[in-house]
Amino acid sequence: MLTTERLSELISSKRRILGQLRDIGQRQNDLAASGDIGSLLSLLGAKQQLIAALQELEIALRPHYAEDPDKRQWLSPQRRSACAQQASECNALLEEILSFEKLGAEKINARRNEVAERLQQVHAAAQVRSAYEAQRRTAHSHSPIV
């Protein structure tokens, strides 16, 4: 097998995985916005598997990155062009994924801040209630017995 055929297969696999990661990124943002933590955690598990597969692909691609692209032997100019197109799509998908990750992080931070604010309100209400009950107990213990 020509090394360019192997390169083409690797780039095609990378394109497929990046497409799946982009789709997961979209779903992840929807789940982060809705607060569905259970589904989000499940989705993140699937995402981690895809990231691991992508890392393996990058290791396999490393030797090809060191090659001079103009010295590669392709079966045809069309095969070279198709591989270049997929590599370009990979770059566009990576940008999309990074955009989703940034947006997702912002949504999760906003949600975390919202929950923290609610917890503070609940804590403050509990403190007020405790103070009120302590005052009532003190008032009842100091009232004369009739």
pTM over 0.95: no
Q: Is 101 helix (H, G, I), strand (E, B) or coil?
A: helix
Q: How many C-beta atoms lie closer than 10 Å to residue 93's C-beta?
A: 19
Flag whether pLDDT at 29 surpasses 90: no
Q: What is the mean pLDDT of residues 107-112?
A: 77
Q: Is 68 helix (H, G, I), strand (E, B) or coil?
A: coil
Domain ranges of the chain: 3-102
Question: CA 88 to CA 92: how far, in whole Å?
Answer: 6
Residues 6+ apart with CB under 8 A from 113: none
Q: Is residue 108 very low, low, confident or very high in pLDDT (cuts 50, 70, 90)?
A: confident
pLDDT at 101: 87
Beta strands in the chain (DSSP E): none
Flag whether pLDDT at 127 surpasses 80: yes
Who has greater pLDDT, 54 or 134? 54
How remote is the C-alpha of 76 from its chain's centroid?
Answer: 38
